[in-house]
Amino acid sequence: MSTEKSRDPLDVDLAQMPGQGLSKEDAFLRILDGHWRYLDNQRRNVTTTEEDRNRHAQGQYPFAAILGCADSRVSPEVIFDQGQGDLFVVRVAGNVVGDFEVASLEYAIEHLGVSLVIVMGHEKCGAVKSAIATREAPGAIGKLLQQIYPAVDEAKNMEGDLLALAVRCHVSRCVDLLVEQSPSIASRVTDGRLRVIGLIYDLGSGDLDIRNTRG
């Protein structure tokens, strides 16, 4: 792991570099540092000035990309204590991996220079719960749940709480799908430029459970 000191995300010069100039290791350290502040109720009081808005208007330079659930309780900017422009966030019910989600993350990697992608699921996920409850959901919801059924089927062969196991299987599967479905992501993982991490957020404790890592 790099021993380079984590850079202050509010440093204007560094913040205007692709990926804010961070390696995949340093990007994850910044994520963890922010999460500890959140757990300790020591979140930074970040203000946005006119100068900040003008700077953001010139371009975006996030240091990490997040694929997360649309659930209102799991905002990555809050959980990781990051400011405007720090995270490239893609949110969709059940943090599923579809064409649009993959395309969005490819943009963050190829054009914005991020070297870290996090897939963040959470306990008691409503989308996973729905996938357990029914295979007959109509319309667009049914199409979304189809992407979760394989994880539910995998979890049914395990011992323990089905919902908790299905959430874990789904996050791990989403990490693998990102790498398998995107040649761009796969090549960067293979040559060491990119890391993809699957996490599960605990709604009650706020803890993170790292499920799997690629790269």
pTM score, whole prediction: 0.91
Residue 151 and residue 189: Cα distance in Å, rounded? 23
Q: What percent of the chain has pLDDT over 90?
A: 85
Per-residue pLDDT at 165: 98
The β-bridge partners of 199 are: 120, 210
pLDDT at 14 over 80: no
At residue 55, the pLDDT reads: 85
Helix, strand or coil, per DSSP, at residue 210: strand
Return the ∠ at Cα 173 (arms to 37 and 62), rounded to 5°: 40
For residue 58, pLDDT beyond 50: yes
Please state whether beta strands 195-201 and 116-122 pair in parallel, antiparallel, or not at all (unpaired): parallel
Whether 6 has a pLDDT exceeding 60, the answer reads no
Q: Say whether pLDDT at 2 is over 60.
A: no
What per-residue confidence (pLDDT) applies to 145?
98
CB 55 within 8 A of CB 14: no
Say what the pLDDT of residue 46 is.
Answer: 78
Whether residue 8 is predicted with pLDDT greater than 80 in this model: the reply is no
**For the chain, which domains are there?**
63-76+86-214 (3.40.1050.10)
- Say yes or no to pLDDT of 130 above 60: yes
Summarize pLDDT for 78-95 with one digit per residue, the tens.
999 999 999 999 999 999
> What pLDDT was estimated at residue 62?
97
pLDDT value for 12: 47
Mean pLDDT of 2-28: 70
Cα distance between residue 110 and residue 8, in whole Å: 23
The pLDDT value recorded for residue 48 is 84
Residue 75 has which token pair? 């905002």
DSSP of 154-176: HHTTSSS-HHHHHHHHHHHHHHH
Say if residue 39 is exposed, middle or buried (CB neighbours under 10 Å; 0-12, 13-18, 19+). middle
Q: What's the mean pLDDT when you consider all of the chain?
A: 93
- Tell me: pLDDT of 47 over 90: no
Strands 208-214 and 87-91: unpaired
